[in-house]
A and B are shown apart, each in its own frame.
Chain A
């Protein structure tokens, strides 16, 4: 998992509640990403941040929010507006924000289940 930690590993939420997933990296990477993984589907990008205090929507940002106040941290909030939040959430980071041929590394993931 290369210095990227996600917590908690499992998370249960009641409908209508917001919940925040943690992602921390000690790799001194500039860019960080949040993906959602559903069975039988490829990873889908929720949000990404190329630099502190800046982030962009990915392909499925509705119902999610993020912040990037520190280089090491990129928390994801799953809001009650997200209609189908049960999924496996993956955080990733990459060293150079402007270099296209730079590898992206993943954290261990958080499994969110809405009860």
Chain B
């Protein structure tokens, strides 16, 4: 598969534990944020998003928290399962002019031990 996990921060958890993956974003004017999951050799898969007018958003087993004061985003995964093992990365949108561009973090490799 793709070696997208090389040189990435890693998080190792036991099956059933909760996972917290962090992301520091760069632009205080960013207005939209997305978390993606990428398994080896595959394209990124959308997990959850949040707009800058929100602090928290929940999905199925996942929660995203946004702290605009310190430009920090986190993804919480409840009851982590082996199938959650992947690289997770955040993306921020800064709408410069009339164009929409996403800036991506390098990602965190999550390993779930059975």
Chain A proximity mask over B57-95: 1 for CB below 8 Å, otherwise 0: 000000000000000000000000000000001010101
Given known pairs A103-B34, A103-B46, the reply for A45 and B106 (CB within 8 Å) is: no
In chain A, what residue has the closest Cβ to B93? A100
Task: State which size class the interface on B falls in.
Answer: 20 to 34
Q: A40-B7, A101-B31 are in contact. Are A106 and B100 (CB under 8 A)?
A: no
Task: Tell me how many residues of A have a C-beta within 8 Å of chain B.
Answer: 33
Main SS of chain B's interface residues?
loop
Q: Does the CB pair A1–B43 fall under 8 Å?
A: yes
Q: Tell which of B4, B31, B43, B106 touches A100, judged by Cβ atoms closer than 8 Å.
A: B31
Residues from 1 to 36 in A contacting B, C-beta threshold 8 Å: 1-2, 4, 6, 31
Q: In the complex, which of the residues A43, A98, A100 contacts B104, with contact meaning CB atoms closer than 8 Å?
A: A43
- A residues near B, CB below 8 A? 1-2, 4, 6, 31, 37, 39-43, 45, 48, 50, 56, 58, 88, 90, 94, 97-109, 111
CB-CB nearest 5 A-B residue pairs: A40-B7, A106-B43, A42-B104, A100-B95, A39-B6
